[in-house]
Amino acid sequence: MSTVMDSIEFRPGRAKLVSYSPVPELHWRVIFEDEGDAAYCYACDGRLEKSGEGFEPTVLDAMLIYNVAALRGADERNNMDADRSRLATVEWSRNGQCAVLRMDGVPQALMDFAERKSYCRSNFPNFLDDGRAPWRHSDHAWSDEVMQRFETELYA
């Protein structure tokens, strides 16, 4: 099976990209959404969808990708166009169990649906683990090792 990649070109402040696992029976989804003030990446299970309730009931995990004002401030400090177009991509593993969100080619979040763990560069938000959640929410720290494993399996 070849890899699946979805993408969207956008300007920070409003964007949405929905990407589905290449293995339909898995029902996994990754949603990147910039709602104006901040952008988040969501790991979702389509089997939890309820008619008319949007995607919120399907969310297994959420990760902050960027704050729009901070992103624009960083661009201005680096003498870059703060309103320039960006490219968000979601790339799936061949088995449909892992996905990576990249912003302008740089990995920002990785979701491992088999392990029920997510990783992101912001390591936010984190919650106390009560032992009942089906997904790890207590730590989203970025892992170069997990990213390297994803890429090795993808391009092997």
Q: What is the pLDDT of residue 130?
A: 80
Distance CA 132, CA 80 (A): 45
Per-residue pLDDT in tens (0 to 9) along the chain, 156 residues = 567 899 999 999 999 999 999 998 999 999 999 999 999 999 999 888 876 667 677 899 999 999 999 998 888 899 988 789 999 999 999 999 999 999 999 999 999 999 999 999 999 999 888 878 889 889 999 999 999 999 998 887
Tokens of 60: 């297994």
Rounded to 5 degrees, φ, ψ at 73 are -60, -40
Nearest partner of 89 among 9, 24, 150, judged by Cα: 9
Distance CA 101, CA 126 (A): 19
Nearest partner of 66 among 136, 143, 11, 146, judged by Cα: 11
Give me the amino acid identity at 99.
A
